[in-house]
Structure 1
Amino acid sequence: MNGLLHRPGARTALIAVPLVLFAVAGGLAPLLAPADPGVGDLAASLRPPSPQHPLGTDQLGRDQLSRLLYGARISMTITAAVLAISLAIGAVVGATVGYLGGWADWVVARVIDVVVSLPGMLVALAVIGARGPGVESLVLALSLWSWAPYARIARARVAGMRGSPHMDALRLLGAGRVRIIGRHLLPPALAPCLVYASTDVGTIVLGVATLSFLGLGVAPPHAEWGQMLIEGQPFLGSAWWLAYPPGIAVTAVVFASNLLGERLASGEEAPSLLRLAFPGRIRRAARSARPAVVAEPAAVQDSVLVVRDLSVAYPGDGGLRRVAAGISYEVRRGQVLALVGETGSGKTTAALAPFGLLDPRAVVTGSAMLGARELVGPVPRERRRVGVVFQDGAAALNPLRTIGAHIDEAVRNAGRGGRRGATRRVTEELLGTAGLPDPAMVAHWFPHQLSGGMRQRAQIAMALAGEPELLVADEPTSALDVTVQAQLLDLLAGLRDELDMAMVVVSHDLAVVARLADSVAVVYAGRIVESGPLETLIKAPDHPYTRGLLDAVPRPGTAPGTRFRTMPGRSGIGPDDTAGCGFAPRCAFATPACTTERPVLEPLDPSAAHRSACLRHPSTSTTTDGTC
């Protein structure tokens, strides 16, 4: 027994005993009560506890045990009604404004602040004073008092998830606001609300008893704990059994509620929520082979994505500040384009901006054509034709849902929904295509049960659910060991060949993209500084920054103790912060003109496949190691 009480679950269950006991006793009051609580016998008034009346009788000869049981029924019913109303309104309102943000969020936040700051009992007294006593008035008064904390909790929980990668993925898949809020934000928002509700049970029970004690709650002759207290007050010295049992009941429920809420809030035992899975089915389509293409900005008929003069700016104290400018690239069917650069260079911005996956404050201008449709603007349905694999698989996947539920929903959002069994078979097929072993088992796992590489494969399976024309992979091998990196790159290469799918891969490592890419665009300080076929860029880099990236790649056969080449200074700043070339402060070949004149991408060969934005081309006067 002692060992059992040391288990967290057993201790929590023990704490909840008074709540469960009174809830069950109240529900079964008509069966358990030995007498009708409203029928009295003046000849048997104020009798002490006895076998016939275990808790004695009151001044009207009514059985106190029966009144206590019916009082539990009334108190728990009112508490359940208030909790249901408050929790539903608070969670829905908080989750909605937390996701929408803007002026609606500001207005509701101010209303919540006002309601929370007001004394709850004062609000209840005002409502009951306007409507009069009664159960309906009591429920309304306590609900107006109780909804605001739930709204504040849900709003804070959802606001922290609003900009998460898996929200971006849902928007990319075309999920509407109602679906996102109802199926993806409310369940995690309800978890902390339920923890608070466990504490709120005692507060509401105490509020009901207090208002009834003041004569503003449940009116006689109905049995209610607060009403029993006020009726027993004159007899505290002569008939203790009138006031003590209801007082002990209220105290036990309040203490149990507070202790249970404190235990749940400590994280030892969180309330479990139902996981939702959304079934559907998928239609497979055959793909024909198409030739590869070099990365050059001329429009080509077979291009899947064509980006022209893409610029991204964010509002600041001095107005809009551009972080990317003049980005132009294209990717054709069957081609892999790699966007390469240091951390903060703007490569992820260049890859995700066309699909609306940046911060909502971002101002995106320019053009991004997916086939014949423009992406820059509110066109969520077209974005379903794009699959995205984010850098952090743990952040991109909802921790409350299984891997299978994620992919089931991606299949349904693709517009190919069907029966659950058929959808799950397709889900398992997608997991197998992504290289995950035992797909049937993996489909029932949660994200935390998968390794980093497996989470990336799960993201790839989600991205393939809608049979996208384009796959965007943002640092897909980041934080993975070299063996897993190689396996993941081989998987992407195999998918490219098998599905003839266009890909944009974002990476900081030229050695990584060399295994996969057909063409490369090197990004620095929010601009493309060099682009061209992979082989050309590797063998004959033109821009000093490209040379620096290549020099940082370890080479086999290098003598032990050889130091890596590094570029001086820190990574580039945004395009609005420098008048000339953004790389000039770090460039060993910079001239005075580099600080005043902005270089543009110019062709270096007759085919215009290889382009560079440099006022001076070191390749004409230096060796590949950067020496003159």
Structure 2
Amino acid sequence: MTAGGGRRKIPAPVRTALVGLPLAGFAVVGLLAPVLAPADPAANDLAASLLPPSADHLLGTDQLGRDQLSRLLYGARISLAVTATVLAVSVTVGVLAGTVAGYLGGWVDRVVARVVDMAVALPGMLVALAVIGVRGPGVENLVVAMSLWAWAPYARIARARVAGLRASPHLDALRLLGAGPVRVIGRHLLPPALAPCLVYASTDVGSIVLGVATLSFLGLGIPPPQAEWGQLLVEGRPYLASAWWLAYPPGIAITAVVFASNLLGERLAVGDERPSVLRWLLPTRPQVPRSGRPATGSTAAAVAGTSGTPDDNDVLLRVRDLSVAYPRDGGIRRAVADVSYAVRRGETLAIVGESGSGKTTSALAPFGLLDPGALVTGSARLRTGATAGELIGLSLRRSRQVNGRRVGVVFQDTFAAFDPLRCIGSHVDEAVRNAGSRGRRATVRRISEDLLRMAGLPDPAAVAGQYPHQLSGGMRQRAQIAIAIAGEPELLVADEPTSALDVTVQARLLDLLGQLRDELQMAMVVVSHDLAVVTRLADVVAVMYSGRIVEYGPLDAVIRQPGHPYTRGLLDAVPRPGAAPGTRFRTMPGRSGTGPDDASGCAFAPRCPIAAAECVHEQPMLLAVGTDPAHRSACPRTSTAGTSLRPVTAGDRDGDGD
């Protein structure tokens, strides 16, 4: 009782341990059977046959005079050993097959899924009977027969779990850091896939014990004279009326094991301790020591314009005619069409637009960070010295030399970007090692703490020991930045880095990105839906609508003299601090575009206040706005040959004008 008179609550792990005690007790009894058994279970004594329970034989003797208690204890040893072997084989094969299929997808996933469906559809006992009928009875054949139908549910569970994680930003981050498929599957996908399988295994113990006993009862399991619970039931069946002690104890033992396993499985399924159970069963693999990190440059790169020829050595990344499509309903659905942009060294390009405009796809596609089913075409060249290497279609080995080293990424979803079972320091340590640092584990951790401190976290040692759910959104975003800059990248891609953060944290995070850009001499690509955010950081702006770039140019030109009605609408939607109370936000009529497949004309035409008849039928091209060749718009009515939209005035910025 507590001091207030209430009932003291038993901690959840203790409750789970108490529920699992009966099953653990059976396992311990089986292991200690040679010590606990009062007699040899195979020793015959016909003079003492069918003796009732007594002080000499606590559970009596069978028809051959063998001690029934000894045979029951050895039966637990054999039954649970066979069950453990079947479980080990089934869980291993099922989890590996399901995890690999869920991660690779494609034809591998389809083949494994069909095999699993067939295995689940067939009656398990019928499969076991067929196998044993061909191979004959015996322990090895029994294990094979039981495993052939027991593995399928584990494969189905693991496949579903991994398929849900396949497109997560966390796996994108791992691929960006250069982690290969073997490491991703073994270190990052098997543990979360194994957790629900272990819960299912706890309930499967009873089913396998019952199956082994059933096959032995039919004469197809463990052959005599070995003591096995099902075999004991067979031997005791003729004596149910005259010698009850032969059949009832093994029957009660089988029932108790089935009941205990189901009870434990139910507790694990509804309990809160699966992660802790998994950590106990699968302790973190020790890290391989590697070394220190190269020195960092401190000079700021000069901000360049966006114009230039393809041979301009100042251009770090040049993307041309990038298109991304996904298979859908038997056809192809394009998400991005004919996107081109360039990023100079030390320059920040902001890609802005509404949700669904294709801005994130355009930023991540060049580095292979989309769903494996994405069809990416076009060209994306990352310059190295005097040459530029193609990124589209890059092999896995070559991409690992780029991602995580020359290119870093900060993802929007800070929760999904981290493995919830690993602490923050472990994530940063891995990024440091993949960046090429070698040294002792303590050295790697010291570098990780320096990166966390550089990312603006005040107590990096404490943060390194915490798990993602223990940090605020801003702290997780800073930890992501630490991981992204571990390889001192030449280019940093930030996908909605301030999404879901309050205004104060947004400002600090943007200032941090600007400071790191200058200190590390990085170029940056920032994806955002908020033009007010990018004005603090960007040098060049690409405005996207419906999978296409509709305006591109220097920040000052785009903000002060927007060349496209959509850009004008985004600027009008930015709240103005000086606006009078009760002032309504300006909004654009209609709904956002449906994608680049609507290529017969301008996708913005249904919402455009200055649309003409030709806008509906002709796909617009990017044309220069005014006399600035670097400022281009996809609206012919506001380009060099047409009229211009009203510029943004000081009154607009103060909230006094339209």
Q: Does 1:526 align with 2:547?
A: yes
Partner amino acid, structure 2, of 1:331: V
For residues 434 and 276 of structure 1, do their structure 2 counterparts lie closer, same or farther at Cα, with a shift above 3 Å needed? farther
Distance 1:4 1:141, change over 3 A: farther
Paired position in structure 1 for 2:523:
502
* Structure 1 residues 531 and 277: CA distance shift in structure 2, 3 A: farther
**2: CA distance between counterparts of 1:75 and 1:4?**
39
Q: Tell me what 1:18 maps to.
A: 22
Deviation (angstroms), 1:117: 1.4
Q: What amino acid is the match of 1:224?
A: E
Q: Verify the 8 A CA contact 2:352 2:542 in the aligned structure 1.
A: yes
What is aligned with 2:302? Answer: 291
Alignment of 1:377-416 (within 5 A): 377-379=393-395, 380-381=399-400, 382-384=402-404, 385-416=406-437
* 2:215 is aligned with 1:211: yes
SS at 1:489 equivalent: helix
Spell out the pairing of 1:455-474 with structure 2 (5 A cutoff).
Answer: 455-474=476-495
Deviation digits for residues 30-76 of structure 1 (CA, Å, limit 9, x no counterpart): 11111111112222222222222222222222212211111111111
Q: Is the 8 A contact 1:75 1:208 kept in 2?
A: yes
Q: Aligned partners of 1:152 and 1:313: how far apart in 2?
A: 29
**Would the alpha carbon gap of residues 257 and 504 (structure 1) be closer, same or farther in structure 2, given more than 3 Å must change?**
same
CA deviations 1:203-258 (Å, max 9, x no partner) are 11111111112221111221111111111222222222222211111110010011
Deviates more, 1:316-325 or 1:459-468: 316-325
Q: What are structure 1's unaligned runs of at least 5 residues?
A: none
**Which residue in the other structure is 2:392 paired with?**
376
Q: Which residue of 1 aligns with 2:341?
A: 329
Give 1:451's aligned residue.
Answer: 472
SS at structure 2 position matched to 1:34:
coil
CA distance in 2, matches of 1:34, 1:69: 10
Quote the offset at 1:620 in angstroms.
Answer: 4.0
Give, as a single letter, the amino acid of the residue that structure 2 aligns with 1:475.
E
Alignment of 1:63-462 (within 5 A): 63-270=67-274, 271-273=277-279, 274-276=283-285, 278-279=287-288, 280-287=290-297, 288-296=299-307, 298-299=309-310, 300-317=312-329, 319-371=331-383, 372-379=388-395, 380-381=399-400, 382-384=402-404, 385-462=406-483
Tell me how far apart the structure 1 counterparts of residues 617 and 133 of structure 2 sit (CA, whole Å): 75
Alpha-carbon deviations, 1:429-475, whole Å to 9, x = none?
Answer: 21111112322222222211111111111111111122211111111
CA contact (8 A) 1:541 1:619 kept: no
Q: 1:419 to 1:522 in 2, by over 3 A?
A: same
| Percent identity for Structure 1 against Structure 2 | 69
d(CA) in 2 for partners of 1:277, 1:355: 30
Distance in 2 between the 1:319 and 1:122 partners? 42
Choose which of 582, 586, 611 in structure 1 pairs with 2:607. 586
Structure 1 vs Structure 2 CA RMSD: 2.2
1:5 CA drift (Å):
7.9
In the alignment, residue 390 of structure 2 is paired with which amino acid? Answer: E
Distance, in Å, in 1 between the alignment partners of 2:208 and 2:360 is: 50
Q: How many residues align?
A: 628
Residue in structure 2 matched with residue 58 of structure 1 by the alignment: 62
Contact residue 387 and residue 464 of structure 1 kept, 8 A:
yes
Do the aligned residues in 2 keep the contact of 1:306 with 1:369 (CA within 8 Å)?
A: yes
Structure 2: runs of 5 or more not aligned: none
* Paired residues of 2:561 and 2:646 also in contact (CA < 8 A): no
Q: Distance in 2 between matches of 1:268 and 1:347?
A: 39
Q: How does 1:595-614 map to 2 (within 5 A)?
A: 595-604=616-625, 608-614=629-635
SS at 2:278's partner residue?
coil
Change (3 A) 1:588 1:170: same
Aligned residues of 1:68 and 1:223 also touching (Cα < 8 A): yes
Contact 1:282-1:416 at 8 Å conserved across structures: yes
TM-score normalised by the chain length of structure 2:
0.91
CA drift at 1:191 = 0.5
Deviations 1:66-90 (A, max 9, x none): 1111111111111111111111011
What is the rounded CA distance, in whole Å, between the counterparts of 2:100 and 2:646 in structure 1?
A: 60
Please list the CA deviations of residues 402-425 of structure 1 after superposition, one character each: whole Å capped at 9, or x if unmatched: 212222222222233443222212
State the distance in 2 between where 1:181 and 1:174 align: 13
SS in structure 2 at match of 1:167:
helix
